[in-house]
Amino acid sequence: MLDLIAAHGARAEMWAVFAVIVGALALYASERLPIEVTSVAVLCLLLVMFHLAPVHGPDGTNRLDATILIAGFGNPALITVLALLVVGQGMVRTGALEHGAEWVLRMGRGNATLSTAVVMVTVLVISAFMNNIPVVVIFIPIVQALAERLGRPVGKMMMGLSFVAVLGGSTTLIGSGSNLLVSGALVQVGEPGFAFFEFAVPALVLAGVGLLYVLFVAPWLLPDRSSLAERILSRSSKYFLAQIAVGPQSPLVGSRAVGGLLSGLQDVRLRMILRGERVMMPPFHDLEIRAGDLVVVAASRRALSRAESLLPGVIETGASGGVEMGHRQERMLAEVMITPASRLSGHYIGRAGFQFRTQCVVLGIQRRAQMFRSRMTDVRLQPGDILLVQGRPEDVAALRDVRDVVLLAGSSEAMPVVHHAKSALAIFAFVVGTAATGLLPIVISALLGSLAMVASGVMNLRQASRALDGKVVTMIPATLAMGMALQETGGAAFLAHILVALVDGMGDVAVLSGFFLIAALASNVVSSNACAVLFTPVAIGLAREIGVDPHVFAVAVVLAANCAFATPIGYQTSLLVMGPGHYRFIDFPKVGLPLVILLWIAFTLFAPFYYGLM
């Protein structure tokens, strides 16, 4: 090992690159600087370094000039991730996968752990036969909707989605690009390539261990780092009184009221049903809703927003005239409070003229901890009452100038544009279908999908641009530049050899175990594909040297390369979930590193037995 270090000791540029990488990882983990600033600083440092001290190739050109180092900004991986973020935001914005979340809840019988398990197992199975990136893109909005329905922070689930997709991709030959790279490297050195399911058994063992970790351990390690808007809007303790007029064509006709809950409307509690002159109060014993009923309910703003999105037009205030809120318009949800000197005080909401003057529809009313048992239109407004209102964005913004109410800061949010849900689903199906079948490269499919989301009116340019994550925009080019510098200065090859030297001379089982751990840790720094390319030749040489079937060590490379969980730069799916999950760089080593160690232990215990090395 000392000879190997001495042979590379004079390569100052290699050690300079190591220093840059270590410094970048330290800054990423500590977040003393924003990730975007660190990424751009790394790029600038590399640009200056290799302009002053160029690395010349055989043809005399600089192998690390500015064109090469900043090529990451045009890398298909970056373009794909950004385009898929726009496509995914379009799905979230339209609520197109809300019914998918409902299906998961039904399969999980409303239990949080069981529902999460249904999603993760589904992802694991699909990822075995389909590229991981579209699988994660498909399930990001489903997990977001599921987390909201379960009342759980989305950050508790999103990282597990990425991890399970990667583990599922390690079970078959086509599940991951790194699997194909290892198989191709075997053929290049004269060994037979992998069969389709050759490493499925050990991969499934590791996937099973990882699935249990994701379900029962990871949620405890992940912090509740919801966005500020989500924390403000969650307000689970605040319930609004609302009323629903059940028309002849209403989807609620025939639904039953059982135990104060109304089938068809989740998390909405019944307070009263008016049927002609008859007033029905709790308890309700399997009561069937009929056309013409006026249903008075109490629900959180989330539940009312969901009801209005799934069943447009069912919530009404009983006000006569004034507002026509078209459901093909962009709408906002907000909360306003009645001021002490408000002209609305003492008036019924339907007769106060508020809706006519502001063009905002009142969906519900909340008064401190009081729970009303009357129709909303029979409640006289008082100072301090909070109204849940819906209107066009410009009308909601104009509420700041209305002296009778105070628009509560941070309470505004866009409602799903459900009339675009079919368009979003069609675009989404096109992206996934063309990418999965190989009809188009995924970068082209994703770009076409993001363009269609804007062109079809699902979202405008401003909303599409807000879907882009600055961390992704800067981190991918920076990590690609570091990887290129590591490879061209000989640092990658040196790292592989120095690490393999650490396990040289040990027993077969110890060598296989140590090699797996080294490759797994390396995959978190140089990416899974780079790990596959670097370590496969080393694995084959090591196996031949100790007299073991090279396929055994090649399988170790496949499984280790798919253990890129400890940093968000090891695998693209981690970058995909970083924004939706509100993660920081440090969250990945905190949760991913224990998983890497756990998978190493599982591999060490199972693989030698399975391959007859014990």
DSSP label of 417: -
Q: Please say if the pLDDT value at position 208 is more than 80.
A: yes
Spatial distance between the Cα atoms of 607 and 552, rounded to a whole number of angstroms: 9
Q: Are 95 and 180 contained in the same domain?
A: yes
Q: Please say if the pLDDT value at position 546 is more than 70.
A: yes
- Is 360 among the domain residues? yes
According to the model, what pLDDT value does residue 372 have? 59
Spatial distance between the Cα atoms of 286 and 292, rounded to a whole number of angstroms: 18
- Is 438 among the domain residues? no
According to the model, what pLDDT value does residue 7 have? 52
Query: What is the average per-residue pLDDT within 237-255?
Result: 75
Q: Are 178 and 91 contained in the same domain?
A: yes
The more confident residue out of 533 and 49 is 49
The CATH number for 246's domain is 3.30.70.1450
**Range with the poorest average pLDDT among 149-153, 209-213, 299-303:** 299-303
Q: Are 162 and 94 contained in the same domain?
A: yes
Q: Please say if the pLDDT value at position 496 is more than 70.
A: no
According to the model, what pLDDT value does residue 96 have? 65
Q: Are 85 and 134 contained in the same domain?
A: yes
Q: Are 215 and 82 contained in the same domain?
A: yes
Q: Please say if the pLDDT value at position 594 is more than 70.
A: yes
- Is 268 among the domain residues? yes
* Strands 332-338, 405-407: pairing kind: antiparallel
The number of domains in the chain is: 2
According to the model, what pLDDT value does residue 411 have? 65
According to the model, what pLDDT value does residue 45 have? 94
**Range with the poorest average pLDDT among 146-150, 241-245, 499-503:** 499-503
**Which of 364, 391, 409 is the endpoint of a domain?**
409
Q: First CA to last CA across the chain, in angstroms?
A: 28
The more confident residue out of 529 and 551 is 551
- Is 129 among the domain residues? yes
According to the model, what pLDDT value does residue 270 have? 80
**Angle formed by the axes of helices 177-188 and 550-561, nearest 10°:** 150
**Range with the poorest average pLDDT among 254-263, 427-436, 605-614:** 254-263
**Range with the poorest average pLDDT among 133-142, 390-399, 491-500:** 491-500
According to the model, what pLDDT value does residue 120 have? 93
Q: Please say if the pLDDT value at position 31 is more than 90.
A: no
Q: Are 221 and 260 contained in the same domain?
A: no
Q: Please say if the pLDDT value at position 318 is more than 50.
A: no
Residue 223 is inside which H or E element, if any?
Answer: none
- Is 465 among the domain residues? no
According to the model, what pLDDT value does residue 82 have? 80
Spatial distance between the Cα atoms of 335 and 342, rounded to a whole number of angstroms: 16
Q: Are 241 and 221 contained in the same domain?
A: no
Residue type, 192: P
- Is 538 among the domain residues? no
Q: Please say if the pLDDT value at position 261 is more than 70.
A: yes
The more confident residue out of 496 and 435 is 435
Placement of tokens 């270590």 in the chain: 22
According to the model, what pLDDT value does residue 228 have? 44
Q: Are 337 and 361 contained in the same domain?
A: yes
- Is 425 among the domain residues? no
Contact between 208 and 162 (Cβ < 8 Å): no
According to the model, what pLDDT value does residue 202 have? 96
Confidence category of residue 321, pLDDT binned at 50, 70, 90: very low
**Which of 383, 409, 435 is the endpoint of a domain?**
409
According to the model, what pLDDT value does residue 598 have? 97
According to the model, what pLDDT value does residue 101 have? 58
Spatial distance between the Cα atoms of 251 and 533, rounded to a whole number of angstroms: 56
Hey, which of 276-285, 464-473, 501-510, 572-581 has the most confident mean pLDDT?
A: 572-581
**Range with the poorest average pLDDT among 133-147, 491-505, 557-571:** 491-505
According to the model, what pLDDT value does residue 327 have? 46
| Long-range contacts at 482-485 (CB < 8 A, ≥ 24 apart) | 482/17, 482/20, 482/21, 482/24, 482/42, 482/46, 483/526, 483/527, 483/530, 484/64, 484/68, 484/69, 485/17, 485/20, 485/46, 485/50, 485/64, 485/69
**Range with the poorest average pLDDT among 10-14, 30-34, 221-225, 313-317:** 313-317
Query: What is the average per-residue pLDDT within 87-108?
Result: 69
Which domain, by its residues, includes 262?
A: 237-409
Mean pLDDT of the chain: 79
Q: Please say if the pLDDT value at position 235 is more than 90.
A: no
Hey, which of 6-20, 62-76, 84-98, 132-146 has the most confident mean pLDDT?
A: 62-76
Confidence category of residue 478, pLDDT binned at 50, 70, 90: confident
**Which of 363, 387, 409 is the endpoint of a domain?**
409
According to the model, what pLDDT value does residue 162 have? 94
Q: For the CA atoms of 496, 498, 502, 503, what is the dihedral angle to 10 degrees?
A: 40
Spatial distance between the Cα atoms of 243 and 266, rounded to a whole number of angstroms: 15
* Strands 261-262, 256-258: pairing kind: antiparallel
According to the model, what pLDDT value does residue 99 have? 61
Q: Please say if the pLDDT value at position 390 is more than 60.
A: yes
CA atoms within 13 A on the CB side of 204: 10
Say what percent of the chain tops pLDDT 90. 17
Query: What is the average per-residue pLDDT within 434-450?
Result: 81
Confidence category of residue 35, pLDDT binned at 50, 70, 90: confident
- Is 503 among the domain residues? no
Q: Are 298 and 356 contained in the same domain?
A: yes
Q: Please say if the pLDDT value at position 385 is more than 80.
A: yes
Spatial distance between the Cα atoms of 107 and 314, rounded to a whole number of angstroms: 27
Q: Which distant-in-sequence residues (6+ apart) come within 8 Å of 315 by Cβ?
A: 242, 243, 244, 304, 307, 308, 363, 364
According to the model, what pLDDT value does residue 282 have? 75
DSSP label of 329: S
Prediction pTM value: 0.62
For 376-403, give one letter per residue: b (16+ CB within 10 A) or e. Answer: bbebebbeebbbbbbbbeebbeebeebe
Q: Are 117 and 243 contained in the same domain?
A: no
Q: Are 253 and 192 contained in the same domain?
A: no
Q: Are 210 and 272 contained in the same domain?
A: no
Distances (CA, A) of 96 to 132, 327, 333, 446: 21, 15, 19, 18
Q: Please say if the pLDDT value at position 410 is more than 70.
A: no
Q: Please say if the pLDDT value at position 242 is more than 80.
A: no
According to the model, what pLDDT value does residue 412 have? 66
